[in-house]
Structure 1
Amino acid sequence: MPVQANFSDAETVLTQPYFNQARQMAERAIESVDGRVKVFNCSDGALVRGAEPLRAEQIALRAYDKQADIDLIRSSFRPLRAGEDWEPFPMAGEQLLSLYKKGLLNELKMKKFNWFKFAKIVDSIDHMVLKRLPRKSVVEGDMRLEPYMEVVRELLIMWYRFLCFGNNEHEWQQVYEVGYQELAALIEDMHWDDL
């Protein structure tokens, strides 16, 4: 959507609704201080009513000791407290990954390759493995396993593609077995690093 430009180099600039809404909120905030604060708009973007268009290099800043302001800002914050500001995960990451790996290997294992079962694995491996984990070991918003799961999903897709090149049950079984060995080795090698 076109809006009036901050500088006269261009008559209008293009913006999106989210940014336009932020601009309108800034205009209301500037209006609410009723001239008690001087506001400059140094952007090459949209004009903001109530803010003076000015290039950053044109603003003469006065020197002052900022330490008192820094101390005031810092004093407004306190360390976050477990149980009050955040809840610890119900299970340590290393233990969670260990259970994930075990569940993953169990879901991937087949004595005889089966297209239907393998397609189901490719489509829903995350759900299949997560439901094997103990109740409440993964809470909503817990993304700690996501990097591991993403790698597994990508490798399953590649494995599926290799299987598609097979022409008969014997070839599919061979590709499945080699793929399982390779993926199992990679899964066993996954480890948890506490940073």
Structure 2
Amino acid sequence: MKVVGVVGYPASGKGEFSLIADELGIPVIVMGDMIRRKVIQEELALTDENIGAAARKLRSELGMDAVAILTAEEVRKLSSAIVVIDGIRGDAEVAYFRSVFSDFSLLAITAGFETRLLRMQNRGRSDDTATPETLRSRDEREESFGLARAISLADMRIENESSRDEFISRIRSYLGGLS
């Protein structure tokens, strides 16, 4: 099984990448879903604050690769030639995935701060931030998990600063080359 991990800052385009992979019949496991499950189990609202607190708690109790361990369990349940893991947040997660999946590659999706802020202001998810200050805070939280280090470990990068159609074309080209 080929496992592709996707890493990037919030609103960089990881979700769009995963949507295209799903449309192509490639299973996608979203790491954030592991954290959202914990928030729901605690009977809390799915807000950025609660999701961030759950992520910090999980990592402080079980280690910086805690979410990767939970995600790998889900990946192992699949019998697909290619699987996408969406939402890697740290270098410890990258190290864990590389240790348990012999055919693992890491793809970084990149987009600038202003581009990501505009996307968050327009997409309306419950955990989105609407101001530069709150996005900077979220970026800093995710950097504390090792996000910048994880991005630096990427085997491949796709920039997402152009049109949506061009980004989708790049995604399709990348995924088509995996088969």
Give the TM-score taking structure 2 as reference length.
Answer: 0.26
Max Rg structure: 1
Structure showing the higher helix proportion among its residues:
2
Q: Flag the structure with more relative contact order, 1 or 2, with Cα contacts below 8 A and sequence separation at least 6.
A: 2
Give the TM-score taking structure 1 as reference length.
Answer: 0.24
